[in-house]
């Protein structure tokens, strides 16, 4: 019945073996393993978390990019519209400017013409005066004798003037 009565030698060696094993493993074994397993677990958790965040960021970035694209398109539209407007404005301005310039030219031309006309009128009047004086002179000189002749002459001269 030695099985039920602990044998001193075996108890002694069991103590020795177990304590030595415990000390050795407690110093060089288990802490290393536990630390490694813990840190690996945290690394894996961290990795998963990072991946999740990265994915989130990626999704976010895609959204952002989409937003930028839309924004850019909107701006492009805006710019195009503005450009078109500017173009028409410029054309309009050019046109008014041209009109104004033409008007001015025309006005000055009119004034010049008016002036020329007035000068011509004045000159004509002077001419007419001169002619009248000449006619009167000629009439006086030539046909002062008879009245009919004088009248005929006057008529003839007036006709001539009218013809001119």
Partner 1 sequence: MFKRINKSLTGANRARHSLRTVLLALLALVFLCPQNAMANEEKKDLDVKEIIFEHLGDGYGWEVPFAHVYRIPLPVIVRAEDGKWFCFSSADLTEVIITRNEETGKDHKELEPVIKTIERDSKTYRFLIAHVSSHKDKVVQIFDLTPEEEKTVSTELAKASGNDSNSPRIIDGYVYYDGKYYREYRPLDISITKNVAALFIASFLVTLLVMCLVRFYRKNGFKAPRKGMGFFEMLVGFVYYDTIKATLGAKAPKFAPYLLTAFFFILIMNLIGLVVIFPGGANLTGNIAVTLVLAICTFVVTNINGNKHYWKEIFWPDVPLFLKFPLPIMQVIEVFGMFTKPAALCVRLFANMMGGHMIVITLTLLIFIFAAFGAAVAGAATVVSVLFSIFMLLLDVLVSFIQAYVFTMLSTIFISMSVADHEAHEAKAHDKVDQQVKTEN
Q: List residues near partner 1 by CB under 8 A.
A: 1-15, 17-18, 20-22, 24-26, 28-34, 36-37, 39-40, 43
Identify which of residues 19 and 120 has a Cβ nearer to partner 1 in the complex.
19
* Separation of alpha carbons 161 and 3, rounded Å: 172
* Separation of alpha carbons 7 and 96, rounded Å: 125
Identify which of residues 4 and 147 has a Cβ nearer to partner 1 in the complex.
4
Q: Give the contacts of 142 (CB within 8 A, at least 6 positions apart).
A: 153
To the nearest whole angstrom, how small is the minimum distance from the Cβ of residue 52 to partner 1? 20
* Separation of alpha carbons 14 and 6, rounded Å: 11
Identify which of residues 11 and 98 has a Cβ nearer to partner 1 in the complex.
11
To the nearest whole angstrom, how small is the minimum distance from the Cβ of residue 49 to partner 1? 16
* Separation of alpha carbons 118 and 140, rounded Å: 31
To the nearest whole angstrom, how small is the minimum distance from the Cβ of residue 42 to partner 1? 11
To the nearest whole angstrom, how small is the minimum distance from the Cβ of residue 40 to partner 1? 5
Identify which of residues 21 and 79 has a Cβ nearer to partner 1 in the complex.
21
To the nearest whole angstrom, how small is the minimum distance from the Cβ of residue 1 to partner 1? 8
Among left, alpha and beta (phi > 0; psi -120 to 50; other), residue 5 is beta
Identify which of residues 31 and 129 has a Cβ nearer to partner 1 in the complex.
31
Residues 10, 16, 18, 19, Cα dihedral to 10°: 150
* Separation of alpha carbons 141 and 12, rounded Å: 183
């Amino acid at each position: 019945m030695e099985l039920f009565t602990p044998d001193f030698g075996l108890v002694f060696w069991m103590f020795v073996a177990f304590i030595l094993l415990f000390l050795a493993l407690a110093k060089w074994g288990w802490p290393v393993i536990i630390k490694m397993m813990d840190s690996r677990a945290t690394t894996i958790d961290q990795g998963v978390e990072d991946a999740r965040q990265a994915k989130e960021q990626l999704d976010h970035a895609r959204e952002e990019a989409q937003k930028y694209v839309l924004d850019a398109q909107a701006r492009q539209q805006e710019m195009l519209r503005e450009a078109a407007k500017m173009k028409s404005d410029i054309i309009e301005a050019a046109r008014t400017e041209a009109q104004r310039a033409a008007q001015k030219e025309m006005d000055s031309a009119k004034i010049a013409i008016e002036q020329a006309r007035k000068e011509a009128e004045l000159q004509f009047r002077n001419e007419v005066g001169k002619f009248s004086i000449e006619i009167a002179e000629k009439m006086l000189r030539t046909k002062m004798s008879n009245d009919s002749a004088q009248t005929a002459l006057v008529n003839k001269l007036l006709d001539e003037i009218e013809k001119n």
